[in-house]
Every structure is written in C-alpha cells, then in structure tokens.
C-alpha cells in the first residue's frame, strides 16, 4: 500500500478508538475517587493482633500469688577486687494480667569479705505467651525481668554502705506440676557506688548474676503431672565400680590408675521430671601414699544427698519413659576415712564436700534399667599429726560405677495390684557380728574377731508398706580368745521398698525392706545395760503363701564401750557393731 493511502487509514482508526479510551479513563477516574488515599499514620497506629493469654482474675483460688525461694551468685566487673558473693532470699509475686506480674524480693548475701542485705522490686513480662499465645499444659515459659533494688553492704572492718541499682534479665521457668515451678534467671546490674562496701572513683559499678529457685503457685496451672502418687517414678539402685583420689599429693607419688580401688553404693530416689532427688550410701577403699608404706589402702564410707536433672524431659517435656535417659546430679556428701600411718595422731577422719555426676540409664524393660555413672567429689578433712601439726586436706575423688535401677515409670500399675490383707509373722535368725575396730586388723585375724547370735521374733504387716517387729537375741561378742555374751531386745519399723516403688503384688517372690529401730543390750561380763539404735536392710524370698527365707544386714550404735576390745569413736565414746543374719519367717 502506498504511503498516501496509509496515513489517512491510520487517522481513521485513531479517531474511531479514541472515544472508547477516553470513556474507560473517565470510568477509572470515577472509581479511584471513591477510595481513601494511603495514610502512614493510620497504618502505624492500627491495633495489632495479640494472642490470647492465660486468664487472670482475683476470683481465682490463691489470688494469683506465688512464693519463691531462690539462691545464686553475683559478681562485679571492672576494677573491684571483691570476689563473687552468694545471694539468697524469698520473693512474693502477683500476676496482675495475662502477661504482667510484679515481684518483691528480700535478699541476703555474703562471702569471706562482705555481708549484704537488700530488697528488689521487679516487673515480669510473659514473653512466650505474648508472642505465641497461652498453651494450656505447656511446661516452659520465658519472661523478661526489669527492676530496681536497694542494698546495704558491709565489708569487714569498714562502715556499712547504702547503694541502689537497676537491673534486667530473662527468666526461664519450668512448670514441674500444677503448683510448683523451677526457674533460672540471669541478670545484668547497674549499681550506684557502695555496692561492694567501698568507694569507687567511677561512682557506679556494673555487675552480673545468675539465680535459680523454686516457686509455689497458690493458683494452680493445668499441668499434667508425671507422678500421680508417692511411688510413681520412685526408684532404688545398686551399683559397683571403682574410685580413686586424684588430688595432686597422691598423683605426685602414685602415677596412672594406681590410686583406684573398688567402690559400691545403694540409693533411693524419686523423679518429678525433670527434677528429682536421690539419697545414697557408699563405701569402698582406694590406694594412697604415706610415709610408712609407698602404697597403702584407705577405707571410706558415707552418704550423700543430691538433686537430679533429667535432660530428656528438660529439653522435651512431652517425652515419657524414654528407653535411654541422660541424668545430671549435684549434691553434698559426708563420710569417714580410715588412714594407715604411724605419723597420724588420729587415723579415723570425717570428710565432707560437694559432688556431681553424669548418669546414663538404659531400660531393659518398663521398670528395670542398667546404669553407668561418672562421678567427681571434692572432700575436705583435717589431719592432725603426732608432731602437733594439723593440715587442712582435700581429696579429689573420681569414679565410675555400673549398676541396676528399679523404677515405677508408668502410672497404670493399679491394674497390677493385688488385694492386700494385714497379717502376723514369726521369724528366727542365726548370724554373725563384729564389734567395730580399725586399728591392727588383719585379714587373717578377722575370723577370730567375729561373734555369733541367734534370735526369735514376731511382727505384724499392717499395710503393703509398713510393718513392726520385735525380737529377743542371744549373742556372743568375740574378746580375747573367749567372748562376752550379751542379751538384746530389739524393736523395729520396717518399710517395704519394693511395694513402695512397684505397688503391692501378691505374686512377687522378692522384697527389699529397710528397717530402723531401738535396741537394749545387757552386758553380762560388766553387768551393764546399754541402749542404742540400729538400722539395716532385709532381702526376702517367698517360698509359698506361708514361708519366706531372708537375709539381713545391720549396723548398731551404742553410747558406751560394748566390749573391752571395741573401738570408741568421736568424743561421745560411741561404739558400733556390724551384723548379718539369715533366717526364715512364717505368716499367720
């Protein structure tokens, strides 16, 4: 097509479509004119969505108050020479809304140089509920902490100083049950001058601290407990292994693993998940260095109390009855150590100190598990010498133990319970005894140092857990190739540990009992009467519905010298008798 024809055709098309385009533009302008223009201020001030928090009102039981007991450490940064100090106290908390709480705390602290008291007022904000909403039954909450405090600090030999401060931090809270919480709270502090009991050129101090505590909530939360009665998640365990003192004085003379010796322990405890407690008795001997012999044995024994943390349920609270558990423990132990050196003025010394362990438990069945545990203990004691010198010493004990644990891990044991009926029983025993002495004892002489006893007794099993019994015992305590022949009367309370942990079962053939009681002994040689206490363990095997056989071990303590050859311990002149018996009992 020629150019002179193309130009007119293009103009005709343009004129034809232009009215439609103008009409569409006009409609568009009319539509836009009805919309509000964008307003940045309205966008900023619009109401945000806030997740639903836990309902809090004063009509609830307990009025949403909580009471806490806590402890921790504080440390100053910068030029202050003050060592870290321990702080502990009590606190009262009030939840005022779904996300906000207020807390007042009374504190007291100390170290070797400082004594301190104080009061703090804090605002706690429930960060986890504010971000993610309240979840009924959740075990973990995270709070922000912001507060002020006033303190009085006094150093030895200086006037008391008054200081103030502001602080902030985070609180991680674990709900153990409906009413109990455990928390950890790290904080940063900005103090006015005088918090360390001294003047600072900067006129202020910066510090930090970490606290942990237990809280009782007067208003309960809907937390599903992992234990529904006393026996749930309670356990007993027995272990054997090795332990040695790896302190520097011993390592310098005994290299490698020469210090290791055998060790054993027996424990009872209970889990509340993820926390628990355990009480243990332990004993054994290790090797050490002394001036008489290059390498000699030291016998020891004692008890410990510990707090346990189960890492499985701490990390994942919904976990129940894992096959493999990882547990941590921390606690304190007390005991006695028997030395062998002619340089020592006193060869039996008491010790005490902190202890901690890491334990693995693998459950072969629902209730029976095998354990492996590595432990460290730092045990302090004083050692007097014949020269008049007294040394402050400590042992650094490291050990590994392997054992067996029996635990009720499931709460459906009620279906396995039998119907219990109280019953009476009579029993007879025969056994051996050893009035304790530690000096001059050699293995070949032990048979001549053992005595004998026989006893007859009766008792009653009132409940699956509790029984009482009494006995008359005739014995012989070895003394100078002859002996003395005491007459004893005993009365005991017995606690059935297997029923306590595993519930009563009429089909069970083995029971473990702990017993404790009083004992009266008449000493015919000196015509004296002695009163004491005793405690021990009994292992019982069921033969049929009427007859049992059992073995038991006990320790008796008397105020006085029970035989002329028995050693007296402590300034109170106490003597001890170890004993073991086998016997049979008849139920009626």
Measure the CA–CA gap between 137 and 226, rounded to whole angstroms. 12
Helical (H) or strand (E) element with 46? none
Are 403 and 430 members of one domain?
A: no
Nearest to 271 by CA among 234, 323, 326, 320: 234
3-state helix, strand, coil in the chain (%, to 5): 10, 55, 30
In a domain, 506, yes or no: yes
Does 45 reside within a domain? no
**Dist CA 17 CA 567 (whole Å):** 123
Cβ pair 197, 158 in contact under 8 A: yes
> DSSP states of 139-156 as a string?
-EEEEEEEEEEEEEEEET
- For residues 264 and 405, membership in a common domain is answered with yes
pLDDT of residue 306: 94
Cis peptide, bond prior to residue 274, ω within 30 of zero: yes
Contact assessment for residue 556 and residue 579, using Cβ atoms and an 8 Å cutoff: yes
Q: What is the pLDDT of residue 534?
A: 93
Same domain flag for 381 and 353: yes
Please tell me the total count of domains within the chain. Answer: 3
Looking at residue 35, what is its pLDDT? 57
Asked if residue 431 and residue 399 are part of one domain, the reply reads no
Q: Are residues 268 and 178 in the same domain?
A: no
Cα(first)–Cα(last) distance of the chain, in Å? Answer: 129
Residue 33 located in a structural domain = no
Secondary structure string (H, E, C) spanning 554-584: EEEEEECCCCCCCCCECCCCEEEEEEEEEEE
Nearest alpha-carbon partner for 300 in 253, 339, 260: 339
Q: Using the 3D structure, point to which of 357, 384, 412 is the last residue of a domain.
A: 412
Task: Say yes or no: 203 and 279 in one domain.
Answer: no
Cβ distance 371 to 237 under 8 Å? Answer: yes
CA distance 531 to 554: 16
**pLDDT for residue 411:** 47
pLDDT (0 to 100) of residue 24 = 47
CB atoms within 10 A of CB 196: 22
- Residue pLDDT tens, the chain, 588 long: 455 555 555 555 555 555 554 454 455 444 455 556 666 666 555 555 667 778 888 888 888 999 999 999 999 987 667 888 999 999 999 999 999 999 999 999 999 888 999 999 999 999 999 988 888 878 889 999 999 999 999 988 888 899 999 999 999 998 888 888 889 999 999 999 889 888 777 788 899 999 999 999 999 888 776 666 666 788 889 999 999 888 887 777 777 788 888 999 999 998 888 888 999 999 998 888 776 666 777 888 999 999 999 999 888 877 878 899 999 999 999 998 887 666 777 777 889 999 999 999 999 988 889 999 999 999 898 878 777 788 888 889 999 999 999 887 764 444 455 578 899 999 999 999 888 775 556 666 667 778 889 999 999 999 888 999 999 999 888 766 667 788 999 999 999 988 887 778 788 888 999 999 999 988 776 678 888 899 999 999 999 989 999 999 999 888 877 776 667 666 657 788 889 999 999 999
Taking the C-alpha atoms of residue 298 and residue 456, their distance in angstroms, rounded to an integer, is 38
- Which are the contacts of 358, defined by CB distance < 8 A and separation ≥ 6? 326, 327, 328, 329, 373, 374
Whether 203 and 293 map to the same domain: the answer is: no
- Looking at the fold, whether 383 and 433 belong to one and the same domain comes out as no
321: left (phi over 0), alpha (psi -120 to 50) or beta: left
Q: What's the pLDDT score for residue 22?
A: 46
pLDDT of 79 = 60
Does residue 135 lie in a domain region?
yes
Q: Which of 186, 218, 250 is the last residue of a domain?
A: 218
The verdict on 399 and 523 lying in the same domain is no
- pLDDT at residue number 298: 83
- The enclosing domain of 268 has a CATH number of 2.40.160.20
Residue 7 counted as domain residue: no
**Among residues 258, 267, 207, which one has the least CA distance to residue 236?**
267
CA–CA distance, 337 with 298 (Å, rounded to integer): 7
Question: In sequence order, which ranges of 363-476 are alpha helices (DSSP H)?
Answer: 446-449
Round to whole Å and give the CA distance between 349 and 372: 30
Element (H, E) at 109: strand 100-110
Q: Is residue 88 domain-resident?
A: yes
DSSP state of 484: B
Say if residue 404 is in the same domain as residue 427. Answer: no
- Cβ(395)–Cβ(248) below 8 Å: no
Q: Is residue 42 part of a domain?
A: no
pLDDT for res 162: 92
Contact 293, 340 (CB under 8 A): yes
Same domain, residue pair 191 and 239:
no
Whether residue 564 is contained in a domain is answered as: yes
Domain boundary among 218, 249, 281: 218
Specify whether 196 is located in the same domain as 238.
no
Cα-based distances in Å from 272 to 65, 225, 358, 547, 558: 23, 8, 18, 37, 38
Which domain range does residue 190 map to? 65-218
* Rounded-to-10 torsion of CA 430, 436, 437, 438: 100
């Amino acid at each position: 097509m020629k150019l002179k024809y193309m130009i007119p055709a293009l103009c005709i098309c343009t004129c034809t479509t232009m009215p439609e385009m103008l009409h569409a533009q006009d409609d568009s302008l009319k539509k836009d004119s009805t919309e509000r223009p964008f307003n940045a201020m309205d966008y900023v001030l619009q109401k945000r969505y806030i997740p639903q928090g836990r309902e809090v009102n004063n009509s609830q039981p307990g009025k949403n108050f909580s009471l806490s007991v806590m402890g921790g450490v504080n440390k100053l940064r910068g030029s202050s020479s003050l060592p870290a100090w321990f702080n502990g106290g009590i606190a009262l908390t009030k939840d005022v809304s779904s996300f906000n709480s207020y807390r007042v705390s009374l504190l007291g602290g100390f170290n070797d140089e400082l004594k301190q008291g104080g009061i703090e007022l804090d605002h706690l904000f429930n960060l986890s509920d504010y971000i993610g909403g309240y979840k009924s039954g959740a075990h973990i909450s995270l709070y922000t902490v912001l507060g002020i405090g006033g303190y009085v600090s006094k150093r030895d030999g200086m006037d008391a100083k008054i200081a103030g401060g502001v602080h902030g931090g985070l609180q991680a809270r674990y709900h153990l049950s409906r009413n109990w919480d455990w928390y950890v709270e790290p904080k940063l502090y900005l103090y006015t001058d005088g918090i360390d009991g001294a003047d600072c050129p900067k006129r202020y101090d910066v510090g930090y601290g970490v606290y942990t505590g237990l809280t009782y909530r007067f208003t309960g939360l809907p937390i599903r407990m992992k234990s529904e009665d006393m026996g749930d998640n309670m356990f007993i365990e027995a272990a054997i292994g090795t332990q040695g003192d790896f302190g520097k004085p011993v390592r310098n003379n005994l290299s490698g693993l020469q210090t290791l010796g055998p060790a054993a322990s027996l424990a009872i405890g209970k889990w509340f998940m993820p926390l628990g407690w355990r009480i243990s008795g332990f004993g054994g001997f290790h090797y050490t260095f002394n001036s008489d012999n290059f390498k000699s044995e030291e016998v020891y024994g004692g008890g410990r109390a510990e707090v346990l943390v189960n890492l499985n349920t701490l990390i994942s609270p919904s976990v129940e009855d894992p096959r493999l558990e990882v547990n941590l423990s921390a606690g304190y132990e007390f005991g006695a150590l028997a030395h062998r050196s002619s340089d020592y003025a006193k060869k039996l010394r008491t010790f005490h100190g902190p202890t901690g362990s890491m334990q693995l438990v693998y459950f072969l069945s629902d209730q029976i598990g095998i354990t492996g545990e590595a432990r460290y203990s730092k045990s302090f004691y004083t050692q007097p010498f014949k020269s008049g010198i007294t040394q402050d010493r400590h042992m650094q004990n490291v050990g590994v133990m392997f054992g067996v644990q029996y635990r009720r891990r499931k709460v459906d044991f009620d279906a396995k319970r039998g119907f219990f009926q109280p019953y009476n029983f009579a029993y007879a025993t025969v056994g051996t005894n050893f009035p304790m002495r530690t000096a001059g004892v050699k293995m070949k002489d032990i048979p001549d140092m053992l005595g004998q006893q026989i006893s007859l007794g009766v008792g009653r099993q009132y409940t699956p857990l509790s029984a009482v019994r009494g006995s008359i015992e005739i014995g012989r305590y070895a003394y100078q190739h002859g002996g003395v022949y005491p007459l004893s009367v005993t009365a005991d309370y017995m606690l059935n540990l297997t029923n306590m942990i595993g519930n009563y079962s009429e089909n069970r053939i083995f029971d473990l009992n702990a017993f404790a009681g009083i004992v009266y002994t008449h000493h015919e040689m000196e015509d004296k009467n002695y009163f004491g206490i005793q405690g021990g363990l009994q292992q019982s095997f069921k033969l049929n519905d009427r007859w049992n056989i059992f073995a038991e071990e006990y320790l008796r303590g008397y105020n006085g010298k029970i035989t002329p050859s028995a050693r007296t311990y402590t300034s109170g002149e106490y003597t001890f008798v170890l004993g073991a018996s086998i016997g049979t009992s008849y139920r009626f």
